Amino acid sequence: MKIFIPTPPRPFAGGLDTVEATAATVAGALTALTAAHADLRKHLFTPEEKLRAFVNPYLSYEDVRYLPEEEATAVTEKDTLTVIPSIAGGLA
Amino acid sequence: MTTLYLSRDVYKEIRAHGESTYPHECCGALLGTRAESGWHVAASVAAGNASTDSAHNRYRISPLELMKIERAAREQGLDIAGFYHSHPDHPAQWSETDFNEAHWLGCSYVITAIENGHATLTNSFALIGASEETKRFEPEPIDLSD
């Protein structure tokens, strides 16, 4: 499957904007991604091995956290996964 | 120090967006290409403010809209260079909330002060650092071109 890497984590993925991974689930794909690019792990995961709160995993156009099986959701080689940091702020 | 390169058209668009949503905050993305000296912005994309319960002092782009913007940028051969938002009746200076919620390392965060509905100062801050723990905002000049 293809994993799309947005601008911020790209330097930690060898500058790649897309990474190919073979996995059975979303969690497996993220593990494969960070196994291939170890520096990415601390940007995507907390020291407790949870996805950081500001990292939004999307399987195609579905928010993985709202899928019934969340990160255990099965994937195929035709799927795409995007890990996109959130954007927010404001004056107060 | 990096520089943010903007066309006058994009500069006008993001400031006009802030005026149009006043007294609420506006927000959007900047698409462009990266050079050693900084981002060269090719286009801006206005986004909806998903922080509907506190739009006068907060902004948020929904992850789904953000992903669609990112995907469209790729198809144009562009990257997300940064984001812009407005500070209604507040200075064009990043706030603690802006900093805490900033996670796009290497990108530019542009803030326009809107006073009584009119855009005044627009500033850009580069989010630099190697990680969440070492990130910081650094002011960067905006280079305007025709």
What domains lie within chain A, and their CATH numbers?
Answer: 2-85 (3.10.20.30)
Question: With contact defined as beta carbons under 8 Å apart, do B18 and B117 qualify?
Answer: no
Q: Write down the pLDDT at residue A69.
A: 96
The helix (run of H) or strand (run of E) holding residue A85 is strand A80-85
B82 to chain A: closest CA residue? A7
Chain A residues whose C-beta is within 8 A of a chain B C-beta are: 4, 6-8, 11, 17, 42-43, 52, 54, 56, 58, 61, 63, 82, 84-92
Q: Do B70 and A6 touch (CB under 8 A)?
A: yes
Q: Do B90 and A91 touch (CB under 8 A)?
A: yes
Q: Write down the pLDDT at residue A79.
A: 96
Q: Write down the pLDDT at residue B97.
A: 97
Q: What's at A69, amino acid-wise?
A: E
Q: What's at B36, amino acid-wise?
A: E
Whether the pLDDT of residue B24 is over 90: the answer is: yes
Question: With contact defined as beta carbons under 8 Å apart, do A44 and A27 qualify?
Answer: no
- Beta strands (DSSP E) in B9-141 are 27-35, 38-47, 59-61, 79-88, 108-115, 118-128, 136-140
Radius of gyration (Cα) for chain B, nearest Å? 14
Whether the pLDDT of residue B93 is over 90: the answer is: yes
ipTM score of complex: 0.91
User: What confidence tens digit (pLDDT) does each residue in B36-82 have?
Assistant: 999 999 999 999 999 988 999 999 999 999 999 999 999 999 999 99
Q: Write down the pLDDT at residue A91.
A: 87
CA distance A23 to chain B (A): 22
Residues forming a β-bridge with A3: A19, A81
Chain A residues whose CB is inside 8 A of the B133 CB are none
The span from the CA of B19 to the CA of B83, in Å, is 17
A84 to chain B: closest CA residue? B67
> Is the CB of B120 inside 8 Å of chain A's CB atoms?
no
Residues in chain B: 146
* CATH class given for the domain over B4-145: alpha beta
Q: Write down the pLDDT at residue B37.
A: 96
Q: Write down the pLDDT at residue B53.
A: 87
Q: Write down the pLDDT at residue A67.
A: 97
Whether the pLDDT of residue B146 is over 90: the answer is: no
User: What confidence tens digit (pLDDT) does each residue in B101-141 have?
Assistant: 999 999 999 999 999 999 999 999 999 998 888 999 999 99
Give the residues of chain A that fall short of pLDDT 70. Answer: none
Report the DSSP pairing between strands B27-35 and B38-47: antiparallel
The helix (run of H) or strand (run of E) holding residue A91 is none
